[in-house]
Amino acid sequence: MITLLDIEADAPLSPDDAGHAVRLLALAESLGIDPVDLDVAVHDAAAGYASAASGAEDDDAPYEEAGRQAAGVNNAGLDKQVTYLVAQNGHEQTERILREAV
């Protein structure tokens, strides 16, 4: 069975979350965070999304696809990473992730 998975399917941000993403991007830049510092957090968020979306723990395909898509988010840079993390984790958890990355 082919699993269609889009880790950004729920990524559109509310206006409030978009404002938090802008603030958190400025925070990440001020802390000197390199996009590489957020790679694992993005992959973890994508794996969580795959788990919730697929419900099939014995099928690795959704996780492999989530990992591939997470690499795309990571390769798009800090702005995309922060926005994705806010969409998946909320702004408070994303701020914790950023502060722990330094």
* Predicted confidence (pLDDT) per residue in 29-83, tens digit: 999 999 999 999 999 999 998 888 776 566 788 889 999 999 999 999 999 999 9
- The pLDDT score that the predictor gives to residue 10 is 65
Whose tokens are 């990440």? That residue is 28
Q: How far apart are CA 45 and CA 28, in angstroms?
A: 18
Q: How far apart are CA 69 and CA 23, in angstroms?
A: 25
Mean pLDDT of the chain, nearest integer: 90
Using CA atoms, how far residue 99 sits from 7, 11, 31, 38, 71, in Å, is 24, 22, 8, 11, 22
Helical H segments across the chain, by residue range: 15-30, 39-54, 61-75, 78-89, 91-101
Give the pLDDT confidence of 72-97 residue by residue, as tens digits: 999 999 999 999 999 999 999 999 99
